[in-house]
Amino acid sequence: AALLAFSFPAFAQTPAMAPDIPAKFDIAIPNADYIKRDVMIPMRDGVKLHTVIVVPKGAQHAPIVLTRTPYNASGRANRNASPSILATVGQGDETMVSEGYIRVFQDVRGKYGSEGDYVMTRPLIGPLNASRTDHSTDAWDTIDWLVKNIPESNGKVGMIGSSYEGFTVLMALVDPHPALKVAVPMSPMVDGWRGDDWFHNGAFRMPNLAYIARQTGAKSGGKDMATGVYDDYEGMLRAGSVSNYAARFGLDQLNFTKKLFEHPAYDSYWQHQALDKILARRALKVPTMTVVGYWDQEDIYGAYAVYEALEPKDSANDKNYLVVGPWRHSGVNYEGSSLGALKFTGDTALEFRRDFMQPFLDQYLKDGAPVANTPPVLFYQTGINRWQKLPQWPVAQAAKPIYLQAGSKLGFDAPQEGYDEYVSDPAKPVPFVPRPVRMGDGNVWRPWLVSDQRSFSDRPDVLTYVTEPLKTKVQIAGQPMVNLFAATTGTDADWVVKLIDVYPDEVPSQPELGGYQLGIAMDIFRGRYRNSLEMPSAIPANLVERYRFALPNANHVFMPGHRIMVQVQSSWFPLYDRNPQTYVPNIFYAKPSDYQKATLKVYHNSAVELPIVETK
């Protein structure tokens, strides 16, 4: 009997076969200085969205800051498993939670813990969306629920987020809930065709395929592509067209791939979704601080476009703000004292968050907080490396053409006759970073816009024009305009134009910058769209045509001793798909025989019009 009692103790109540994984379990976090709540918030159509609420312990009358994300709300609210709220939320949120803010993350419809269908950057209710809901209504319903159901809050909500999360901030501004008091869209995705994630001026950005696989391959994060090739330049080149490459991985079955391939031009599908155009038709009710990195490698277009669209509505000059820091995409939320080889005057990202963003949020969200005196435009001027407070953007007084002259010279003197030529071979496209190209390597991708352009300047298929070392500084502040007069033996062509700051031969305090070629404003334009972004047309072979397009915004000082350079080339691979150089109706489906060498001529009356600020 004694043995029996030992084997089956009378106090044993858990059957040996009781399942060991409970339906719900939250590990206790002893001594946490916050409370985390997981809730399902009902939308107007009955769909419930998964939301994580992080409340500092003891909070009362606290503001709420909401982020709506396709990137896993639970993960966004769990940087580290820690009893400290500072370690739990993201680096960019530290200043907010230090001030006692309640931080909320929500999975967008159809992703991670949320119910409903996922549609990539879901269009607003209207011609592309016949349902009753969009990100504007979902934000409205969420904010309505938050202010009624978080007893620790003061009923005031701000929205913040970068990139896709910046897009959801802007969507909330279309018809804002009255409790939405302030918005900080960062690097927002605004126009997927003109210059943000999917295309730049009609040239398709190939890394998106991996993004689409991950984002739409599964509700909670799809798989990576098993490319089997170390150098993505090689793998993508071998596949031929983009559609071929996508089909190899089965991505042609994904609806968003189909949508992209069906809309290569700037048709109504893209125009109806352009958020700057949408917001330009709405009243500006919520103070909005739009933030972007100067070297934003993903969404370099949208922030400026939104600021420009909202500016005419800001008659009292108290609702539309622009901030540009020396950052990569979303770099504002991390450490900002350097980018690639460049070093700045301190942690510029923290400086912004602590000294400008937090007082701005406080002004609108904290009961009784003082007015923040936020400058209309805060811009980190590159080249000279200092924050500038500006009354508006752009500030340039004149557009001064700098001409692509004979003998590889770049100069402000009158245009000349003649041309330079190069052979662009789609079988040997110009890489955008030195090979091997590892698209998935964040250490290459994030700072690539500041990488040394010297690796390309002496290729025979890159034209390079450069000034003498400058005697006085040249300051630009606005969008440089490309005005190219060029011809091709083919019937389609891409034009990549790079405005570059060439450092002096020696930089004693940082020797590796000696002769460095730093991209200041660089972009691509697909020649078939020269007359209309919506209706492409073949380029007449061997005729001089004009290609006019804007480069990304620049606020830069070319310092004495530096030189200004312009590079022109016709591919930028594999960031952008190759132009076959033979006109075909849809480049996504170009056949191997369509990819043909072409000789391109760039005439010496071509120029980049610099947005010059005259200095004394």
Q: Which residues bind ligand PG9 (CB under 6 A)?
A: 121, 163-164, 167, 189, 197, 211, 298-299
Query: How many whole angstroms separate alpha carbon 110 and alpha carbon 73?
Result: 12
Query: Whose Cβ is closer to ligand PG9: residue 121's or residue 374's?
Result: 121
Query: How many whole angstroms separate alpha carbon 137 and alpha carbon 171?
Result: 9
Query: Rounded to the nearest whole angstrom, what is the least distance from the CB of residue 164 to ligand PG9 in the complex?
Result: 3
Query: How many whole angstroms separate alpha carbon 409 and alpha carbon 420?
Result: 11
Query: Rounded to the nearest whole angstrom, what is the least distance from the CB of residue 473 to ligand PG9 in the complex?
Result: 34
Query: How many whole angstroms separate alpha carbon 242 and alpha carbon 579?
Result: 11
Distance of CA 162 to the CA centre of its chain: 8
Query: How many whole angstroms separate alpha carbon 599 and alpha carbon 463?
Result: 12
Beta bridge partners of 162: 186
The token pair that represents 574 in the structure block = 């594999």
Query: Rounded to the nearest whole angstrom, what is the least distance from the CB of residue 362 to ligand PG9 in the complex?
Result: 27
Phi, psi of 118 (to 5 degrees): -95, 130
Query: Rounded to the nearest whole angstrom, what is the least distance from the CB of residue 319 to ligand PG9 in the complex?
Result: 25
Pick the closest to residue 602 from 564, 578, 566 (CA basis): 566
Query: Whose Cβ is closer to ligand PG9: residue 429's or residue 574's?
Result: 574
Query: Whose Cβ is closer to ligand PG9: residue 205's or residue 528's?
Result: 205
Query: Rounded to the nearest whole angstrom, what is the least distance from the CB of residue 330 to ligand PG9 in the complex?
Result: 6
Q: Which residue has the CB atom at the shortest distance from ligand PG9?
A: 163
H or E element that contains 305: helix 302-310
Query: Sheet holding 102-107: strands in order across?
Result: 34-42, 48-56, 102-107, 62-69, 153-162, 180-186, 288-293, 320-325, 377-381, 386-390
Query: Rounded to the nearest whole angstrom, what is the least distance from the CB of residue 167 to ligand PG9 in the complex?
Result: 6
Query: Whose Cβ is closer to ligand PG9: residue 72's or residue 464's?
Result: 72
The token pair that represents 158 in the structure block = 């701000």
Q: With beta carbons less than 8 A apart as the criterion, state whether 129 and 69 touch.
A: no
Query: Rounded to the nearest whole angstrom, what is the least distance from the CB of residue 190 to ligand PG9 in the complex?
Result: 10
Query: Whose Cβ is closer to ligand PG9: residue 216's or residue 243's?
Result: 216
Pick the closest to residue 567 from 477, 426, 454 (CA basis): 454
Query: Whose Cβ is closer to ligand PG9: residue 88's or residue 163's?
Result: 163
Beta-carbon contacts of residue 173 (< 8 Å; ≥ 6 apart): 180, 183, 279, 282, 285, 286, 288
* Exposure b/e, 26-57, CB count within 10 A at least 16 = b: eeeeeeeebbbeebebebeeebebbbbbbbbe
Query: Rounded to the nearest whole angstrom, what is the least distance from the CB of residue 187 to ligand PG9 in the complex?
Result: 7
Query: Rounded to the nearest whole angstrom, what is the least distance from the CB of residue 577 to ligand PG9 in the complex?
Result: 17
Query: How many whole angstroms separate alpha carbon 199 and alpha carbon 193?
Result: 5
Query: Rounded to the nearest whole angstrom, what is the least distance from the CB of residue 399 to ligand PG9 in the complex?
Result: 30
Query: Whose Cβ is closer to ligand PG9: residue 164's or residue 547's?
Result: 164
Beta bridge partners of 403: 411, 607
